[in-house]
Amino acid sequence: MSRLAKVELRKMFDTRAGFWLMASVGIVSVLATAAVIIWAPDEAITLETFSTAIGVPLSIVLPMIAILSITSEYSQRTGLTTYTLVPWRGRVISAKVLVTIAIGVVSMFLALAVGTVGNLIGSTITGLDPVWDISVATFSSIVLANILGMLMGFMLGVLFRSSAAAIVGYFVYSFVLPVAFGTLAAFQEWFRDLQPWVDVNFAITRLFEGSLTTEHWQQLGVTTLVWLWIPLALGLRAIVRAEVK
């Protein structure tokens, strides 16, 4: 499994598109940090501000990496070779999941490091003391939120097995459904209390705020079960049983 995970990790860097997509994690972190230093007011130079600025583009880039990790087997027609060399497809998918989660965790620590440097530089420029307003618990919740976002992208890749369809599906999930659910909750009182139990984005977004209650964790479990784990199980079953062409 360790050898298979190394192979899957290397495959993510092999193409020019894959390399620059992976490099974009560091690039957008630096650009977002520079933007905060240049345009943010002095009182906003805090670690939380840098983390928020970096987190927005990463919430889009990281799921794209997860999607392409699975759909590239079909769009680049390498699936037949991969599944011939490793006939048990479950091992291949497990290696992809492990690599996806590892990339997500490393990316978040890289973003934290860049944000920390940006906070020190910004504080030095403004002449203020650096503000470290992100606790270990809050950072852990942010990492979990981004991992769930990557797994959502991975699920869409497994379900559709097409880069274009999975990417479109992710943007519908990220931007269309939250607006639809939010609008419905704003105008329909009966849905207002129901939204946290059916809107997975609503439940995941709370992780960025930290300090979830027991009910919040229950809502996160229910929404991810419906929107993530059940579709992922259906997609994995299809991959294992489908003919690779």
pLDDT score of 104 more than 80? yes
CA end-to-end span of the chain: 25
Residue recorded with tokens 């997860």:
66
Give 131-179 pLDDT, tens digit per residue. 888 888 888 888 999 999 999 999 999 999 888 999 999 999 888 988 9
Instruction: Show the tokens assigned to 212.
Output: 């979830």
Region 46-64 average pLDDT: 87
| pTM for this model (two decimals) | 0.89
pLDDT score of 17 more than 80? no
pLDDT score of 15 more than 80? no
pLDDT bin (cut points 50, 70, 90) of residue 81 is: confident
pLDDT bin (cut points 50, 70, 90) of residue 49 is: confident
pLDDT at 106: 92
Burial of 85 (0-12, 13-18, 19+ CB in 10 A): exposed
Name, in order, each residue with C-beta under 8 angstroms of 37's C-beta and a sequence gap of 6 or more. Answer: 45, 118, 121, 122, 125
**From residue 49, how far is each of 6, 40, 143 by CA, in Å?**
35, 9, 16
Q: Secondary structure of the chain: what % helix, strand, coil (to 5)?
A: 85, 0, 15
pLDDT score of 95 more than 80? yes
pLDDT at 42: 82
Query: What region, left, alpha or beta, does residue 85 occupy, with left being phi > 0 and alpha being psi -120 to 50 degrees?
Result: alpha
